[in-house]
Structure 1
């Protein structure tokens, strides 16, 4: 045996290393990956929400907290969305007097009002959360007195 060399073919080593790395990645990211895959309708639900809000936006008069516009069509989309999905209603304001604290409070009140209206229209309240963003996320279209709805 002094003259013989033992060697391990490179291909089986590569397969084993790749398998170990894949197992490690799944072990580390598995819970997140499983949670994402358990929500197959996530992208289509967000697309339906975006289309609905584009067609019938939910807006607010200056300094108003009661929504106008498409609460009913949005509620229909959210009611038929896959049951494992939850939604964040993000309230927004236009820049104005009163500062950041006032804008955040107004946007939170707007988001809360939309969540209340959606729940009254049959969307389960435990699927909805409200978040006020003030004037920190201006709209590309210029309508900053609005809400956005994001699948979570």
Structure 2
């Protein structure tokens, strides 16, 4: 029988230290973020923590006003973001990861979105987002 390991506490504890952790399958090598208790490729529960660094590759920009329309997950999460700085949704991956993710991307404006889109894929730095309730989440910021 599988023994469920706590994932949320170590993950959020590391965010407070400025570290983004994912899970690496020791059986097939798959790496996923955010962390999950089972491998998304082979189903194994033989997973270990891996430090993904604080840089991601942005593969796609989904520019839309974060206060209207768009991805429901982000509209709901937006209620809990302490900062109300505008962001858009991006699709990206960590250099050490094997899966794409969706995340908030800061620094994209109506004025620069076409230029940034023409530069895809590009690297972005992690942005630790303070949430109501005293914990953090992860987004990314366009490099200047």
Q: TM-score, normalised by structure 2?
A: 0.30
Q: Max radius of gyration: which structure?
A: 1
Structure having the larger proportion of residues in helix: 1
Structure of higher RCO (CA pairs closer than 8 Å, 6+ residues apart): 1
Q: TM-score, normalised by structure 1?
A: 0.29
